[in-house]
């Protein structure tokens, strides 16, 4: 149980294009989903928290207009990196938790984004 | 002061030994504590969580929590080379939004 998928697993794009990453909870309803970014040899950095049907809460320093988050259903959240630049290249990981599991977060496999 | 602190390591142990990973946290009101394992290039996977003071055992893993000392640890018995990974300690924030604060992780190396 508690399986979270992410798609795509890897994406390479040109500078200036937008990239959408999907995060799905496969066997439970995710009331809350989280988006993290991780640079090489660094720890996870929380970007934003999203609750189904409401606007995402962004962490300080994260541009909400650049990283668009949609949590349209209890099993799907999307992160769109708009006008991507090489400095946005990173490992993006989502996690999900359900109201029945307090704050246990289950992570997706991650998406490696490379912006040329 | 960082909210969740871990020694970055690497912690090197021989195969079959007990690996002891430690974590301290600053928010005395924290109620939930998690250990995740992250292999290089992969996302974190949950090992176990603990909410109450004392020990909690799951197979070769034992989590220990001491809220008075604001200290949580993970013991790995009979360490295997496949246990070589970075271990992340995470602490639940008392905000009602289910956020976790992660430590920077301890890299464990188990030599055959």
Task: Give the separation between CA B4 and CA B100, rounded to whole angstroms.
Answer: 10
Query: If pLDDT is split at 50, 70 and 90, which confidence band does B94 have?
Result: low
Strand partners, A107: A95
Unique residue bearing structure tokens 């934003």? A48
What pLDDT, on the 0 to 100 scale, is given for residue A30?
87
- In this prediction, residue B108 carries a pLDDT of 98
**Average pLDDT of the segment spanning B5-16:** 95
What is the C-alpha to C-alpha distance for residues B2 and B25, in angstroms, rounded to an integer? 8
pLDDT of residue A12: 97
* Strand pairing category for A111-115 and A90-97: antiparallel
β-bridge pairing B19-25 and B71-76: antiparallel
Cβ within 8 Å of residue A17, ≥6 positions away: A83, A84
Q: Which residue has the higher pLDDT, B59 or A74?
A: B59
Which pLDDT score, from 0 to 100, does residue A102 have?
63
Burial code (b: 16+ CB inside 10 Å, e: under 16) for B59-87 equals eebbbbbebeebebbbbbeebeeebbbbb
Question: Which chain B residues touch A109 with a CB distance below 8 Å?
Answer: 42-43
pLDDT confidence tier of residue B95, bands split at 50, 70 and 90: low
Q: Which residue of A has its CA nearest to B32?
A: A103
pLDDT of residue A103: 73
Mean pLDDT (chain A, rounded): 92
* B32, B45, B105 ranked by CB distance to A107: nearest: B45
* Nearest residue in A to B34, CA atom: A104
Give residue A101's pLDDT.
Answer: 54
A31, A49 Cβ separation under 8 angstroms = no
Per-residue confidence (pLDDT) for residue A31, from 0 to 100: 85
Inspect the interface and report whether the beta carbons of B42 and A109 lie closer than 8 Å. yes
Closest Cβ opposite residue B102 in set A44, A102, A110: A44
Confidence bin at A9 (pLDDT 50/70/90): very high
Please answer whether residues B23 and B71 qualify as being in contact, where contact means their C-beta atoms are separated by less than 8 angstroms: yes
How far is residue A85's CA from residue A115's CA, in Å, rounded to a whole number? 6
Instruction: Indicate the average pLDDT of chain B.
Output: 93
Tens digits of per-residue pLDDT, A58-109?
Answer: 999 999 999 999 988 889 999 999 999 999 999 999 999 886 556 789 999 9
For chain A, how far is it from start to end, CA to CA, in angstroms?
37
Sheet containing strand A67-73, edge to edge, reads A4-7, A19-25, A76-81, A67-73
CB contact under 8 A, B102 and A43: yes
A111 in Cβ contact with A9 (< 8 Å)? yes
Instruction: Determine, for residues A107 and B43 on separate chains, whether the beta-carbon distance falls below 8 Å.
Output: yes
Percentage of chain B beyond pLDDT 90 is 83
pLDDT of residue A1: 66
Strands B33-38 and B85-92: antiparallel
pLDDT of residue B97: 60
Inform me whether the pLDDT recorded for B1 exceeds 80.
no
* Mutation site, A36, A42, A44, A104, interface B, largest B CB count within 10 A: A44
């Amino acid at each position: 149980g508690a399986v979270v998928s992410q798609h795509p697993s890897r994406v390479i794009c040109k500078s200036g294009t937008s990239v959408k990453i999907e995060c799905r909870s496969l066997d439970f309803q995710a009331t809350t989903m989280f988006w993290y970014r991780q640079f090489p040899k660094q720890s996870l950095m929380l970007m934003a928290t999203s609750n189904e049907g409401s606007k995402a809460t962004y962490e300080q320093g994260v541009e909400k207009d650049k990283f668009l988050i949609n949590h349209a259903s209890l099993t799907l959240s999307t992160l769109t990196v708009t006008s991507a630049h090489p400095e946005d290249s990173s490992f993006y990981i989502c996690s999900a938790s359900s109201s029945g599991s307090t704050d246990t977060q289950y992570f997706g496999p991650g998406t490696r984004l490379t912006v040329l | 002061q960082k909210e969740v602190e871990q020694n970055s390591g690497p912690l090197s142990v021989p195969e079959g030994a007990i690996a002891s990973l430690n974590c301290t946290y600053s928010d005395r009101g924290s109620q939930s504590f998690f250990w995740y394992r992250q292999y290089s290039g992969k996302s974190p996977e949950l090992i176990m969580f603990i909410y109450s003071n004392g020990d909690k055992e799951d197979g070769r893993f034992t989590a220990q929590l001491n809220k008075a000392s604001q200290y949580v640890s993970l013991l790995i018995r009979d360490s295997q080379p496949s246990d070589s990974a970075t271990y992340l300690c995470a602490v639940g924030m008392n905000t009602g939004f289910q956020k976790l604060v992660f430590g920077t992780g301890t890299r464990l190396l188990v030599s055959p």
